[in-house]
Amino acid sequence: MSCDDRRDLGLLLLRLGTGGVLAAHGAQKLFGWFGGHGIEGTGQFMESVGYAPGRTSATAAGLAETGGGALLALGLATPAAGAAAAGAMAGASAVHAPNGFFAMEGGYEYAATLALAATGLAVAGPGRLSLDHALGHVLDRGWMVPAALGATAAVTALVVGARSKRLRKADQDEQEALFAEEEALFGA
């Protein structure tokens, strides 16, 4: 087996594994499959962790994971697929970051690993065992990689930034309410 054959087989396995996991996670959000909570339950969760509106956030994350994952597995539109999946996982990493790195402690390790794998596939390309290759790479041009990753990074920064702002505001409101309650109990 040549080095090119090994590389293509390795990329296929990485695409199938990463894409399959991402697609399954997205299907949990969108359809409630595999023990997921569907749009309603995921929307409520998203709202509770600062992504608002929750239903819209759940739909966007579900589509990015399901669509990005399925396209990665197929090796189709690989730059956009990898970027979309990486953006969704960056949003998930933001939720888990306060718990540290390791997933065992609720940290962002797993989401970050999926994000890096998806980004790596977007950059490296799908290999010859892919629909992109079969279609002459019409959806996998060199310029698409920085465009897809750049656009996704910008949108992700806006979404995660808005979440952070909402969480800071909620904390501030909670602190003010506690202060007012204490003031009412003990006087100023």
pLDDT tens per residue, range 96-153: 999 999 999 999 999 999 999 999 999 999 999 999 999 999 999 999 999 999 999 9
User: Taking the model in full, what pTM does it have?
Assistant: 0.89
Residues of the chain above pLDDT 90, percent: 88
156-184 pLDDT tens trace:
999 999 999 999 988 887 887 777 777 77
78-94 mean pLDDT: 97
pLDDT at 188: 59
* 84 touches 68 (CB < 8 A): yes
12-27 pLDDT tens trace:
999 999 999 999 999 9
What are 177's two structure tokens? Answer: 């309410």
pLDDT band with cut points at 50, 70 and 90 for residue 154: very high
Mean pLDDT of the chain: 94
pLDDT at 172: 86
pLDDT band with cut points at 50, 70 and 90 for residue 40: very high
**Secondary structure of the chain in the HEC alphabet?**
CCHHHHHHHHHHHHHHHHHHHHHHHHHHHHHCHHHCCHHHHHHHHHHHCCCCCHHHHHHHHHHHHHHHHHHHHHCCCHHHHHHHHHHHHHHHHHHHHHHCCCHHHCCCHHHHHHHHHHHHHHHHCCCCCCHHHHCCCCCCCCCHHHHHHHHHHHHHHHHHHHHHHHHHHHHHHHHHHHHHHHHHHHCC
pLDDT at 5: 93
